[in-house]
Structure 1
């Protein structure tokens, strides 16, 4: 899967969860608000009306005056227009009948007192119904708040969990392959062309690993080809040197014997023992003639050498091997040379 697709899935899921979180919040806020509004609009208004009517009965003696009866009647009319709970209409109708009897001029004092008791009873009934409704709505509101808390808490936990996964895994998802790539490039820099990478995190890194492996394989093949050419050239040169009648030996920049043919071994009395790679300074201790040859700077005069009781003369030629050293300096390319050793050739001549 591509990195872009994984990012879209991760952040897309996070975005959807945040939307759900917002939708749940708005829904429950709306439900709680509507419940509170209905309670305030209906039940608390009814309690206000019943309190006004009860105040009329508490503050006035029977029979009620026209003003007190008018205040009671106005509150009762408001209550009749604000019936919301089951059983409230029957109690309100009974209250209207009791008020009618209470204000009937033909009723005697006992009938008015009975009507007052009945009115108080209906007021108590109406108040009880609305108080019970308020308790139920309050319980419903608490239940709604608890549900909202549960849902919002669950959504917040899921959101945090997804964010935690993204925070913990995503840096490693990117950085680990990059670190492996850097290590692989270091191995290539050290000419370890067998290094291979394998990424399973995304299609992009898989393609990068394939490109890296192809590059490493091509570099390895090219290095093997070049090494084969160098070895072949070295073998040809050794064969050519070995077939020369002149004595030839080579010393590298570390003062180690690089090559020597049979004629040179014979002159230096080295026999057939392996000497390639040995220090010429150490060899000179047992074979002083080698030191003479290496330190001889007079190439005009023949070199006199005693060999098998005979005095032989050799014309010595010395060649310093200089190879180019290409070095980039800022924006310019500097070409310099440095010595990698010398080649000594001894050719027999007449004294």
Structure 2
């Protein structure tokens, strides 16, 4: 298959050859016209001029023999037509006789008639050659017209066909590269190898094939990563909702779907409530006869998108309530024996119950201090627990 450079050289050579042929045809036809015109001027018009000069010499009195002889000699060297040589020879004989007898009118009359015949012969030749020249010009015009029309036809065919050699592969390459740029890596450019376009198409096809393999491997990897992330997100106990930069929902995990219900359902008040609720504040949602409490957190990601996390604190609140109940029960259970112990120690210290030995009195005071210490500790524990519950 021809290379692109060879195609261009052949195309330009063809144009040069056609142009050269038109030019040579025109030059040849012009040369023919010029040759016919020169023949008329050189062969016949000069003879007519010589004849007119000889007639002028014969009209004078006396006859100008020198002028007559001079033009006769020129005519003798310009004999071109059939029969002109005999007339010229007859005129030369008459001139010779006239030179011997200048006053002979009969010789002058005969010579005049002879010269007129030479002039008429050349005039007829001029008319005949003019007809031939006109026919030659007509033929030249016709030939040049036909040749020009044929050349124009060839030019038009060449102009319509030759650019396809360049534009067709360029268009196919442009379309294929555009498709590949749009990530349609299955596109292939169908150009046979052999020239520069074929080699370029083969390179682009090889690149597209490698990109297709690369995309397939990356796509499988991305799918695997997506599946893994979806599994992790769906296994979370917190609700997760992803939004794009236009606040359109990208994904929701199982917990969020269970709470919000169908996303595209008209009048989804639960989802609207979640979206409008301020961040970092508790949010209570009633669902399926149960009440859930969440802390709404917003995490900003690139491209102005965000991820909303609904942290479930219902279990924490239940645990806090259980702790409160336990502590209240424990407090009640602790204060009752402490109060009983304080009462018993108070009775022991009363003299009405009997005097105590110094050692016994010391033991009662020590027990009283221990009971007070236990009461202060339990009170401090209750206060600390209340502060923690308030913080939660």
Indicate the TM-score class for this superposition, using the shorter chain for normalisation. 0.5 to 0.7
User: Take 2:48 and 2:186, find their aligned partners in 1: how far apart are those partners?
Assistant: 90
User: Take 2:221 and 2:151, find their aligned partners in 1: how far apart are those partners?
Assistant: 63
**Contact 2:44–2:126 (Cα < 8 Å) also in 1:** yes
Partner of 2:240: 250
| C-alpha spacing 1:181/1:281, structure 2 compared with 1 (3 Å) | farther
**Contact 2:98–2:108 (Cα < 8 Å) also in 1:** yes
Aligned counterpart in structure 2 of residue 219 of structure 1, from 199, 203, 211: 211
Partner of 2:89: 93
Is 2:299 the counterpart of 1:320? yes
Aligned counterpart in structure 1 of residue 76 of structure 2, from 66, 77, 80: 80
Q: Matches of residues 132-171 of structure 1 in structure 2 within 5 Å?
A: 132-161=124-153, 164=156
Deviates further, 10-19 or 250-259 = 250-259
Question: Larger radius of gyration, structure 1 or 2?
Answer: 2
Q: Matches of residues 263-342 of structure 1 in structure 2 within 5 Å?
A: 264=255, 278=263, 284-285=269-270, 291=274, 297-298=280-281, 318=297, 320=299, 322-323=301-302, 338-342=304-308
- Residue 180 of structure 1 and its aligned partner are, at CA, apart by 5.9
User: Take 2:156 and 2:67, find their aligned partners in 1: how far apart are those partners?
Assistant: 66
- What TM-score, normalized to structure 2? 0.61
Partner of 1:260: 253
- Residue 223 of structure 1 and its aligned partner are, at CA, apart by 2.8
**Contact 1:257–1:280 (Cα < 8 Å) also in 2:** no
**Contact 2:297–2:309 (Cα < 8 Å) also in 1:** yes
Is 2:53 the counterpart of 1:52? yes
User: Take 2:50 and 2:144, find their aligned partners in 1: how far apart are those partners?
Assistant: 39
Partner of 1:237: 229
**Contact 1:95–1:123 (Cα < 8 Å) also in 2:** yes
- Residue 251 of structure 1 and its aligned partner are, at CA, apart by 0.5
**Contact 1:256–1:280 (Cα < 8 Å) also in 2:** no
| C-alpha spacing 1:307/1:221, structure 2 compared with 1 (3 Å) | same
- What TM-score, normalized to structure 1? 0.67
1:35-57 CA distances to partner (integer Å, 9 max, x unpaired)? 32332233222212222333344
1:235-289 CA distances to partner (integer Å, 9 max, x unpaired)? 22344455x5x5143211146372434xx489x578xxxx6x836996554x99x
1:33-78 CA distances to partner (integer Å, 9 max, x unpaired)? 3332332233222212222333344444xxxx5x534433333222
User: Take 1:131 and 1:82, find their aligned partners in 2: how far apart are those partners?
Assistant: 14
Partner of 1:335: none
- Residue 138 of structure 1 and its aligned partner are, at CA, apart by 1.8
Cα RMSD of the aligned pairs, angstroms, is 4.5
Greater share of strand residues, 1 or 2?
1
Aligned counterpart in structure 2 of residue 228 of structure 1, from 220, 226, 233: 220
| C-alpha spacing 1:22/1:340, structure 2 compared with 1 (3 Å) | same
Partner of 1:330: none
1:79-134 CA distances to partner (integer Å, 9 max, x unpaired)? 222222222112211222333444545x996xx62x44543443233223322322
Greater share of helix residues, 1 or 2?
2
Higher relative contact order (CA 8 A, sep 6+): 1
SS at structure 1 position matched to 2:79: coil
User: Take 1:99 and 1:209, find their aligned partners in 2: how far apart are those partners?
Assistant: 93
**Contact 1:199–1:209 (Cα < 8 Å) also in 2:** yes
Runs of at least 5 residues in structure 1 that lack an aligned partner in the other structure:
326-337
**Contact 1:177–1:205 (Cα < 8 Å) also in 2:** yes
